[in-house]
């Protein structure tokens, strides 16, 4: 960044904090933040990605665990009596380095297995899975992620188990989830955007049902209605009023969405294709000879 650009950014930041310090109402604050970010982007002082990051930092203080946790239905966990060989296979296949371990039910998580902790047991004839576990860190759904982040850093831990009001497991929250909330999605060695949205040879696209609805809007250049959903899977469920079965379909704004994979609780994959517009028959020119 050259000297003039740096001065411009400094003036923009001073202006931003001066304007924000005068606001009390959360709605006014949110509106002002967005306006300041838009101004900064228009003047070339910040990039679009930097604008998203700034917005994430400001909204970070009000976000609670329930909003960004990996829900119970998507949580990868294993029972305490799982053989070590199977645990190792699970780690390799999933790419997860931390696995919650439960006894009898996922509502009774007894510890967290760290993949690297298995190395110290390498070569031993028999390993008790319980010996390898670290104590779980439990938090309520309503705990602010700013507090969770502080606690995780203090505990030198990367995962929290989110508990619902009845004491059952609601989901898990990782350090990566919190950082993603602030600065956007992080692509690690096991994450691949191609796995979430894949173009097919027949012109359709195969998407993970968890794909953010806004990302799909940008990709397809369509606008979905607002509702109590954030993913394309949530949108399909909201249109049908239930979890659909495999091969069930809906149509929306010239798109056909077919459920490719699902179980009784959730949709996993959806195939989306554009419906062909009816071909109009060409009419002869009025001046053509009969």
pLDDT digits (tens, 9 = 90+) for 234-262: 899 889 888 899 999 999 989 999 999 98
Confirm or reject CATH 3.30.465.10 for domain 193-274, answering yes or no. yes
Four-point Cα dihedral 244, 249, 250, 254, nearest 10? 150
Question: pLDDT by residue (tens digit) across 204-218?
Answer: 999 988 888 888 888
pTM: 0.52
For residue 231, give every residue at least 6 positions away whose Cβ sits within 8 Å of its Cβ, in sequence order, or none. 209, 210, 211, 212, 213
- What is the C-alpha separation between 269 and 260, in angstroms, rounded? 5
Distance CA 271, CA 247 (A): 10
Q: How confident is the model at residue 199 (pLDDT cuts 50, 70, 90)?
A: confident
Burial class (CB within 10 angstroms; exposed 0-12, middle 13-18, buried 19+) of 41: middle
Mean pLDDT to the nearest integer, 197-208: 89
Rounded Cα distance, 255 and 195, in Å: 21
In CATH, the number for domain 67-183 is 3.10.580.10
Per the document, the length of the chain is 290
H-helix or E-strand spanning residue 134: strand 133-134
């Amino acid at each position: 960044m050259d000297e003039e650009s740096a001065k411009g950014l400094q003036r923009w930041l001073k202006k931003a904090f001066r304007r924000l310090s005068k606001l009390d109402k959360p709605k006014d604050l949110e509106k002002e933040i967005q306006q300041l970010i838009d101004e900064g982007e228009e003047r070339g002082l910040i990039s679009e990605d930097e604008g998203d990051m700034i917005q994430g930092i400001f909204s970070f203080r009000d976000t609670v665990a329930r909003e960004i946790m990996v829900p119970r239905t998507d949580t990868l966990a294993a029972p305490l009596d799982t053989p070590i060989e199977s645990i190792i296979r699970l780690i390799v296949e999933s790419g997860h380095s931390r696995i919650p371990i439960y006894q009898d039910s996922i509502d009774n998580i007894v510890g967290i297995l760290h993949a690297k902790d298995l190395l110290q047991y390498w070569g031993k004839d028999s390993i008790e899975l319980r010996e390898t576990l670290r104590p779980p860190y439990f938090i309520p759904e309503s705990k602010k992620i700013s507090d969770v982040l502080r606690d995780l850093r203090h505990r030198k831990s990367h995962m929290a188990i989110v508990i619902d009001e009845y004491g059952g497991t609601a989901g898990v929250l990782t350090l990566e989830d919190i950082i993603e909330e602030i600065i956007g999605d992080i692509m690690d060695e096991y994450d691949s955007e191609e796995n979430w949205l894949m173009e097919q040879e027949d012109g359709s696209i195969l998407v993970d049902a968890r794909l953010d609805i806004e990302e799909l809007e940008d990709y397809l250049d369509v606008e979905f209605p607002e509702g109590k959903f954030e993913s394309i899977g949530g949108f399909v469920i909201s249109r049908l009023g239930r979890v659909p079965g495999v091969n069930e379909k809906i149509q929306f704004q010239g798109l056909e969405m077919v459920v490719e994979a699902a179980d009784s609780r959730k949709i996993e994959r959806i195939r989306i294709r554009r419906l062909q517009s009816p071909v109009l028959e060409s009419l002869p020119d009025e001046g053509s000879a009969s």
